[in-house]
């Protein structure tokens, strides 16, 4: 199965697609540091540090999957929710590229705010435009914690699949068990430098994490979010006003801070995944990512649907 991904970020969705069995023909990401992260971890990937608006999709006509993690601010409840009036809205660019490529399936991730009542007309228009291009479109709010991610992270996933394949696709089902707690997830990393308080801290951090917030290029720094989010972190014994460069010293006293590596593990990244750039830009890459386990779950079911189509085509031939 072959895919192309836009707004690829630091690779959260790309990792999930790879784990589901997709081969990336191209990954497009406008921010150079983010693109360097992709190149750093997968030198063999075909990475373009380009503006999606200027990308020519025609060489990829007929590809199996078009994937994207389109910018969230136009639809986020934390912003002004300008939708199609926001200059950062890239749904028009996505529709142009889908028209040029005519992929068998489309997978787009966005924030929960996309489902707000204020965007009813916009969703109807999007569905109508994709219908004219030959796709059956659905969306669903998926919680990352249902797929093993130790975090409250609701995300909307939009799936548009060619109409002759629509009956074959099923949404992934939640795992039958809860994800690990923050303490269980990070105990080894928090105690990596011999902190004597590690065991007691892990016992206190006995819930999953609140939503990781990475901030935008203009707003937000290396912290764990606004006041309400920091209070939630404090209840887990974590100081959320800033990030740490390393785990606590052996004799550390107080609430520890998280490192970028710790946040990346909470987000579902493999520990081997590296992030290019300083702490703030690395944290932005982690915080704005689509958790790989969720992307993998959806992509796995898309692969099954597309495999059935290929099987039918082979028998017909």
- Catalytic positions, please? 72
Using alpha carbons only, how large is the chain's radius of gyration in Å? 20
The first and second tokens of residue 253, run together, are 């006293």
Tell me the HSE value of 257 on the side-chain side, using a 13 A CA sphere: 12
| All residues at 6 or more sequence positions from 68 whose CB lies less than 8 Å from its CB, including other chains | 5, 6, 7, 52, 90, 94, 107, 108, 109
CA distances from 240 to 47, 78, 102, 220, 223 (A): 33, 18, 44, 13, 6
The alpha helices in the chain, defined as continuous H runs, are: 12-20, 32-41, 91-101, 120-132, 182-190, 198-204, 227-235, 260-267, 279-287, 292-316
Length of the chain in terms of residues written = 317
* DSSP secondary structure code for residue 25 in this structure: E
Backbone angles phi, psi at 247, to 5 degrees: -65, 165
Q: How far apart are CA 290 and CA 296, in angstroms?
A: 10
Which strands make up the sheet holding 23-28, listed edge to edge? 47-48, 23-28, 2-6, 65-69, 105-111, 154-162, 135-143
């Amino acid at each position: 199965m072959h895919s192309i991904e836009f707004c690829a970020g630091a690779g959260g969705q790309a990792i999930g697609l790879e784990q589901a069995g997709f081969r990336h023909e191209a990954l497009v990401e406008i921010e150079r540091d983010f693109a360097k992260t992709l190149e750093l971890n997968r030198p063999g990937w075909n990475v373009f540090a380009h503006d999606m608006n200027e990308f020519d999709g025609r060489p990829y006509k007929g590809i199996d999957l078009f994937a994207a993690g389109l910018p969230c601010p136009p639809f986020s409840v934390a912003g002004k929710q300008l939708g199609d009036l926001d200059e950062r809205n890239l749904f028009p660019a996505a529709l142009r590229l889908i028209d040029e490529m005519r992929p068998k399936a489309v997978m787009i991730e966005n924030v929960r705010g996309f489902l707000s009542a204020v965007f009813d007309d916009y969703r109807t228009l999007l569905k109508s435009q994709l219908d004219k291009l030959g796709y059956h479109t659905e969306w669903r709010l998926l919680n990352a914690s249902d797929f093993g991610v130790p975090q409250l992270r609701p995300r909307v996933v939009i799936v548009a699949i060619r109409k002759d394949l629509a009956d074959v696709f099923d949404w992934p089902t939640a795992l039958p068990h809860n994800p690990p707690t923050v303490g269980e997830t990070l105990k080894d990393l928090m105690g990596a430098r011999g902190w004597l308080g590690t065991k007691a801290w892990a016992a206190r951090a006995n819930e999953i994490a609140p939503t990781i917030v990475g901030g935008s290029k203009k707003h937000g720094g290396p912290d764990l979010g606004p006041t309400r989010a920091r209070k939630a972190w404090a209840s887990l014994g974590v100081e959320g006003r800033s990030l740490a460069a390393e785990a606590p010293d052996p004799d550390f006293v107080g609430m520890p801070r998280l490192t970028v590596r710790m946040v990346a593990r909470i987000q579902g990244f493999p520990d081997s995944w590296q992030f290019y750039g300083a702490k703030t830009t690395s944290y932005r890459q982690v915080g704005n990512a689509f958790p790989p386990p969720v992307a993998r779950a959806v992509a796995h079911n898309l692969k099954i649907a597309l495999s059935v189509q290929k099987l039918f085509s082979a028998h017909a031939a």
